[in-house]
Amino acid sequence: MNNNNLYQVLEKYAADSAVILDNTDDSDVRFSWRYKRKRKAIITAYRKTSEQPLGFDKKYRKVRFGQKIRFAVFVAVTALLMTGAAAYITHYVGGLMAKQYDDHSDGFALDWENAPRTLEKTYRINYDLSDFDMEIVCDDEYQYWEYYSKQEPSYQYINFSYGVKEGFQNARLNTEDSKVENIQLNGYEILYYEQPNGSKSFIWDNGEYILEFHTNSDYDFAVKIISTIKEVEFC
């Protein structure tokens, strides 16, 4: 392959890559602006190096070593950007969607536009946790969050919160080395995962709000507590 033909092939490859990377709105592949910026920089830099004066091909019939290196780097890096940016699994659990990458997941409430924009209902745990210390971490119009902990016989914690769906957009979930599952509990589909350190997370959409329950306690104990979470009314 002579130099002119090589550059024509590279130009076509760059154009095809640009089409693939730029037309992903309706697919399950999402490319961040960082990936797109890097890709554009690589293509621009390569095109500058490929500009040669007229008659260049007549003088040099072989592809020089430096050009081979540039070609190999361009193909390898572009392929890395394309495959790396798309490496996630999509989970649909009830009214939730989670895009699971190698080191985390991004969580989304799907029907947030039609959900309440502020907290209009109250939910509480109706399980005897008197042997835990309890702290209210957040109590505003968008989120309510309780934190329970005890030190003996070993450290245990419970995080219970609920909030508006609008606030659960691109929420980062610590699912590294975890299996995301869909479990059924209390009539809801619940997104569940357990981290290697034993921490367990239960997240679900009750139709109006997103509820979360995180704990390092035993799974069966966690299920018992979650089963008591109910809407309450204050006089």
Indicate the pLDDT class of residue 55, thresholds 50, 70 and 90. Answer: very low
- pLDDT for residue 145 is more than 60: yes
Are the CB atoms for 188 and 206 separated by under 8 Å?
yes
Tell me the per-residue pLDDT of 66-78, one tens digit each, with 9 for 90 and over.
655 565 555 555 5
Q: Average model confidence (pLDDT) for the chain?
A: 81
- Give the sign of the dihedral formed by CA 183, CA 184, CA 190, CA 196: negative
| Residue 162 phi, psi (nearest 5) | -145, 150
- pLDDT for residue 63 is more than 70: no
> Whole-angstrom Cα distance, residue 8 to residue 28?
31
**Token pair recorded at residue 202:** 């239960």
Half-sphere exposure of residue 78: CA atoms within 13 angstroms, side-chain side: 24
- pLDDT for residue 224 is more than 80: yes
What's the average model confidence in pLDDT over 198-221?
A: 98
